[in-house]
């Protein structure tokens, strides 16, 4: 699975350009890989219309309430009308800059699955947690709480391991270290949702993935794909990553 998280980048016009380039390269996209991009809300509708059908769309966040007085927020039913398949939840930028909590992510996971979306739940330790040897404790806690109310069906869930210190920094863990953490996440999924769900759930690696390093991550036995920020903005890089998987 290859997912592009566009963060707060790309207007409608720029999304059309991305889709045009991808459209010219669609023959290079393997039918065995699930592709998605997660544009800002304002470009979700056009993305769904102009992207090749093989590229699904995801939102970068969602509010857990059905509706209400939540200025600036977006609900599941609003996303539903846009043909969205995935919703990224608990991205570290949201946890750090917008005070998202483990419990809030749990409620969003439940609401997203109830609405029929596949949540992409992001977990990851920051630099000081890593240096203190707390990686698995932090990632395990985030995963356990996020899945407390989740469906016991691994097809309805994606988890992304994104070490905070690797996001947008050019630094990455070694593929073996990413594999070890992701194997640990899979064990936590088994504890919370059962062995069947744990064997089905796709767990992605994210953090400074680019065309030159994606293969070494996705070749690890427990790593089912990549969640990519910066390098997913350039359509040529997106295609290059798809071809390197």
Backbone torsions φ then ψ of 159, nearest 5 degrees: -115, 140
Q: Is 126 labelled a binding residue?
A: no
Question: How many of the chain's residues bind ligand PEP (CB under 6 A)?
Answer: 14
SS (H, E, C) the chain: CEEEECCCCCCHHHHHHHHHHHHHCHHHCCCCCCEEEECCHHHHHHHHHHCCCCEEEEECCCCCCCCCCCCCCCCHHHHHCCCCCEEEECCHHHHHHCCCCHHHHHHHHHHHHHCCCEEEEEECCCHHHHHCCCHHHHHHHHHHHHCCCCCCCHHHCEEEECCHHHCCCCCCCCHHHHHHHHHHHHHHHHHHHCHHHHHHCEEEEECCCCCCCHHHHHCCCCCCCEEECHHHCCHHHHHHHHHHC
Q: Is 207 in the site for ligand PEP (CB under 6 A)?
A: yes
Among 19, 157, 188, 227, which residue sits at the site for ligand PEP (rule: CB under 6 A)?
Answer: 227
- The site map against ligand PEP for 1-30 (x = CB under 6 A) is ----x-x-----------------------
- Sole binder of ligand PEP in the list 142, 179, 208, 237 (CB under 6 A): 208
Separation CA 65–CA 110 (nearest Å): 11
Annotation marks residue 91 as catalytic: yes
CA gyration radius, the chain: 17
Q: Does 225 bind ligand PEP (CB under 6 A)?
A: no
Piece in contact with ligand PEP (CB under 6 A), picked from 70-78, 138-146, 196-204, 227-235: 227-235
**One of 63, 91, 100, 110 is an active-site residue; which one?**
91
- Annotated ligand binding at 237? The verdict is no
Q: Does 209 bind ligand PEP (CB under 6 A)?
A: yes
Flag whether 165 is marked binding: no
230 appears as a binding residue in the annotation: yes
State yes or no: is 93 an active-site residue. Answer: no
Comparison of 79 and 228: residue with beta carbon closer to ligand PEP: 228
Pair 149, 106: CB distance under 8 Å = yes
Residue 160 CB, shortest distance to ligand PEP, in Å, is 7
Q: Which CB atom, from 5 or from 57, has the smaller least distance to ligand PEP? A: 5
Tell whether residue 229 is among the known ligand binding residues: yes
Q: Which is closer to ligand PEP, CB of 39 or CB of 229?
A: 229
105 in contact with ligand PEP (CB under 6 A): no
Task: Give the residues lining the site for ligand PEP (CB under 6 A).
Answer: 5, 7, 162, 167-168, 206-209, 227-231
Catalytic positions are 91, 162
């Amino acid at each position: 699975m290859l997912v592009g998280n566009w963060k707060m980048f790309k207007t409608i016009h720029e999304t059309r350009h991305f889709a045009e380039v991808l459209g010219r390269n669609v023959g290079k996209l393997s039918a065995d890989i699930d592709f998605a991009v997660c544009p800002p809300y304002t470009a979700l509708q056009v993305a769904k219309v102009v992207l090749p059908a093989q590229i699904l769309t995801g939102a970068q966040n969602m509010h857990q309430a059905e509706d209400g007085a939540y200025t600036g927020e977006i609900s599941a039913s609003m996303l539903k009308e846009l043909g969205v398949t995935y919703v990224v939840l608990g991205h570290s930028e949201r946890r750090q800059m917008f005070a998202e909590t483990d419990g809030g992510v749990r409620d969003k996971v439940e609401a997203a699955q109830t609405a029929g979306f596949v949540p992409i739940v992001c977990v990851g330790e920051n630099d000081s947690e890593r240096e203190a040897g707390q990686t698995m404790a932090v990632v395990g806690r985030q995963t356990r709480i996020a899945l407390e109310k989740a469906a016991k069906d691994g097809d309805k869930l994606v988890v992304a391991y994104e070490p905070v210190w690797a996001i947008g920094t050019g630094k990455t863990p070694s593929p073996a270290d990413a594999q070890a953490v992701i194997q640990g996440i899979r064990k936590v999924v088994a504890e919370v949702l059962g062995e069947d769900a744990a064997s089905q759930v796709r767990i992605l690696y994210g953090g400074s993935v680019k065309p030159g390093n994606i293969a070494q991550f996705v070749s690890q036995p427990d790593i089912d794909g990549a969640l990519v920020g910066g390098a997913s903005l350039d359509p040529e890089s997106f295609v290059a990553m798809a071809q390197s998987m």
